[in-house]
Amino acid sequence: MAAESETKKVVSQFELTDHDVNAATLEFLRQMDEGLRKDGTSMSQIPTYVTAVPDGSEKGVYLAVDLGGTNFRVCSVQLNGDSTFNLTYNKVAIPKELMVAKTARELFSFLAMQIEVFLKEHHKDYYAAQIKKRRSGTTRSSEYLRLGFTFSFPVNQLGINKGKLIRWTKGFDIPDAVGKDVCALLQTEIDKLGLPVKVAALVNDTVGTLMARSYTSVGKAKSILGGIFGTGTNGAYIEKLSNIKKPTVGEYDKSTGDMVVNTEWGSFDNQLNVLPTTKWDKILDDASVNPGIQMFEKRVSGMFLGEIVRLATLDLIKNEKVTLFVDANSSFNDLQSITTISRESGLFKQWGLDSSVLSVAAADDTPELSSLRLELETSLQIDSASLVDAQIFKAVAAAVGRRAARLSAVAIGAIVLQSGKLNDPDTDVVDIGVDGSLVEHYPFFRAMIYEALKAIDGIGPKGAERIRIGIAKDGSGVGAALIALVAEKMEKDNSNVEDVEARVDDLVWNTNNHNTFIVAGVVGVIAIAALWWARQRS
């Protein structure tokens, strides 16, 4: 059948053989090493100055904000000092026009306003008391709430609360902000509103994920990598200080011999030495706000997969041999009705196909593909798609999803090899924490990653069995691990919590505890903010 062979032609272009996976892994290791030696490489390999995980004995109430994708989240966390904590949050969608605003001020003033809204809603008594004190000129900055800023874009980190934006990713494009310290940008807008808040820590979401996961890793296994496979993709891993050859500027504690490095692997192989490239990858890249950048991310992450499927599907629609989503008459359609696509369908608009449709396609293994056909109708306004139509769409979507998973295995596999943990007789399990819509919602994404890991030289089926990839979003798990950390820290060091305690006592906690839960990245940043604060005071 022509439709079948034409579909196969498309599908085969997304194939990544075991040989390709191995070649890409070697190149990934090479580019990692290059990034550790000098600046300006495609993988930035950013030193984070985080050399240890927080120990959980920190006490206090901290704010955290999270900017990194479609939403902005403001949270407050009460660390109880016994590793338990309560978290409450507000989430707002970032208006599209602010993602491409003319000035950084427009975006950051919006963020500061959300912090104000949050304080008024959840900490109204504290907020009112602070505003009063401020008016009477009796505010002390030690009473300010400390805020951890999860900023999930490439930043040249200059210290725990200072970092200059290298470039925007994931559809953001505000040239005015590039090269500026994002903490200072936020602090300025916070100060303009007179909020009693100090931006204390700057963290990438991958670092937060690694922190949170390392709390929850069971037994001896220490997490070596925090990876995000969501709107964007990136990873932060523990690297030996001796391997970081490029100059580092910030102050840090060298005693652990390690440092967390933010790879910014979304830009792995921007030069396309090994990355597979179809004509649809090219079209997507050319039409993006950052052509030639984030080339790995553009093949792996949720923001882009739907668009690749859309472009490939459009070509099949145009292909007369296939007659996709067009029935000449209803007798060709098992639904006995004629297929129609609305002109308004997302299929005809850039970014019009949400990657979540890929998850539905992958999950539907019914003979009639009924949920996928329903999804095509509701999400893409394709009425009465035939079974063959749905099969074609499913095949294309699966090929794009599978390529993404196998490429994800390249990044994970390379970092496992770099860690040397598989050759370490003391390591049974190599633990990896992941988060993001793909690993959470795309069916079999992790299974496909494992399949490719088995094919990597130096890992193999035995090595792959020792790699544990787990979701770093397990709130109660994180809480339990924090208890252990706090208890240990409390034995060693019970100092310098007085100021923070005073602030906690002052603070009226207007939170509804039923609304409490934990988010991995947020926990990470809160913990880092707390750690930083404790060190500052000592």
Catalytic machinery residues? 152, 167, 205
532 φ, ψ to 5°? -60, -45
Which of 234, 263, 278, 339 binds ligand GLC (CB under 6 A)? It is 234
62, 71, 78, 183, 267 from 198: Cα distances, Å: 10, 22, 16, 9, 32
Q: Which is nearer to ligand GLC, 202 or 380 (CB)?
A: 202
Distances (CA, A) of 277 to 13, 132, 281, 489: 8, 60, 6, 50
Give me the residue whose beta carbon is nearest to ligand GLC: 232
For ligand GLC, the closer CB: 13 or 156: 156
Sign for the pseudo-dihedral over CA of 379, 381, 384, 388: negative
- Rule CB under 6 A: say whether 464 interacts with ligand GLC: no
Q: Shortest distance, CB of residue 138 to ligand GLC, whole angstroms?
A: 40
| 3-state secondary structure (DSSP) of residue 166 | coil
* Rounded-to-integer distance, Cα 130 and Cα 234, Å: 39
Residues 6+ away with beta carbon under 8 Å from 266 = 169, 232, 233, 234, 294, 296, 297, 300, 301
Q: Which one, 7 or 263, has the nearer CB to ligand GLC?
A: 263
Place of tokens 């309560």: 86
Q: Is 297 in the site for ligand GLC (CB under 6 A)?
A: yes
Q: ∠ CA 134-136-138 to the nearest 5 degrees?
A: 65
Strands (E) located in 415-483? 430-435, 467-471
- Binders of ligand GLC: how many residues, by CB under 6 A? 16
Task: Tell me whether residue 206 or residue 386 sits nearer to ligand GLC (CB atom).
Answer: 206
Question: Restricting to residues 400-419, which ones interact with ligand GLC according to CB under 6 A?
Answer: none
Nearest to ligand GLC of 177, 455 (CB atom): 177
Binding mask 160-179 for ligand GLC (x = CB under 6 A): ---------xx---------
Considering only the stretches 121-129, 226-234, 284-292, 504-512, report the one whose residues sit in contact with ligand GLC under the rule CB under 6 A. Answer: 226-234
Q: Which of residues 45-104 bind ligand GLC (CB under 6 A)?
A: 68
Tell me if 154 contacts ligand GLC by CB under 6 A: yes
Q: Which residues contact 368 (CB under 8 A, 6 or more apart)?
A: 334, 387
Q: 481 and 216 in contact (C-beta within 8 Å)? A: yes
Site for ligand GLC in 185-204 (CB under 6 A): 204
Residue 150 touches ligand GLC, criterion: CB under 6 A: no
Phi, psi at 166, each rounded to 5°:
-85, -50
Span near ligand GLC by CB under 6 A; candidates 10-18, 151-159, 335-343, 396-404: 151-159
- Residue 163 Cβ vs ligand GLC, minimum distance, rounded to whole Å: 11
Q: Does 266 bind ligand GLC (CB under 6 A)?
A: yes
Could you say whether residue 346 binds ligand GLC (CB under 6 A)?
A: no
Residue 153 interacting with ligand GLC (CB under 6 A): yes
d(CA 357, CA 398): 11
Q: In whole angstroms, how close is the CB of 71 to ligand GLC at the nearest point?
A: 12
CA-to-CA distance for 433 and 418, rounded, in angstroms? 17
Which residues form the interface with ligand GLC (CB under 6 A)?
68, 152-154, 169-170, 204-206, 228, 232-234, 264, 266, 297
